């Protein structure tokens, strides 16, 4: 966020779309975190959100889906030992996101996803 109008737009989005009214301190913390990271965990009015920039979301989803598949479906099997097995993790993650959207994976609260100016917002509690 660089300009006052961008900050106001974000604040308006949070009020209108997320139905929250964070105080200036919470907004300051959020803006700071968004300026230093593309994957932010932030509490707003007692609700926890994960906020991910669109430039990083596919890579983050791919890595997390890979971990889930290995832990839950492959029983933690170390695929490096089985060099002949090849899984296209990028395509696997894309299939999951295409089927259910980002919210299904990132929003552990209700599966919703919100988008504002290059950022995805997911409630996690």
> What pLDDT, on a 0 to 100 scale, did the predictor assign at position 87?
85
> What pLDDT, on a 0 to 100 scale, did the predictor assign at position 7?
84
Tokens of 57: 């979301």
Nearest CA to 46 out of 75, 20, 16, 28 is that of 20
Least confident of 33-37, 61-65, 79-83, 117-121: 79-83
SS3 of 63-114: HHHHHHHHHHHCCCCCCCCCCCCCCCHHHHHHHHHHHHHHHHHHCCCCCCCE
Task: Give the whole-number percent of the chain exceeding pLDDT 70.
Answer: 98
Q: Give per-residue pLDDT as tens, 39-50.
A: 999 999 999 999
> What pLDDT, on a 0 to 100 scale, did the predictor assign at position 3?
77
pTM summary value: 0.86
pLDDT value at 1 more than 60: no
Evaluate the CA torsion angle 98, 11, 35, 67 in order and state its sign.
Answer: negative
Boundaries of every domain in the chain: 4-123
Q: Give per-residue pLDDT as tens, 102-115.
A: 999 999 899 899 99
Residues 6+ apart with CB under 8 A from 98: none
Query: Which band of pLDDT confidence, cut at 50, 70 and 90, is reported for residue 2?
Result: low
Q: At 69, phi and psi to the nearest 5?
A: -60, -45
Q: How many CA atoms lie within 13 A of 122 on its CB side?
A: 23
């Amino acid at each position: 966020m660089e300009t006052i109008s961008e900050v106001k737009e974000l604040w308006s989005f949070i009020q209108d779309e997320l139905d929250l009214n964070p105080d200036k301190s919470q907004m300051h913390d959020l803006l700071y975190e968004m300026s230093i990271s593309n994957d932010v965990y932030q509490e707003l009015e007692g609700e926890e959100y994960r906020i991910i920039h669109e430039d990083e979301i596919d890579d983050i989803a791919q890595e997390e889906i890979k971990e889930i598949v290995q832990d839950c479906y492959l029983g933690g099997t170390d695929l490096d030992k089985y060099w002949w097995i090849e899984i296209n993790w990028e395509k696997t993650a894309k299939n999951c996101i295409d089927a259910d959207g980002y919210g299904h994976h990132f929003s552990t609260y209700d599966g919703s996803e919100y988008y504002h100016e290059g950022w995805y917002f997911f409630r996690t509690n």
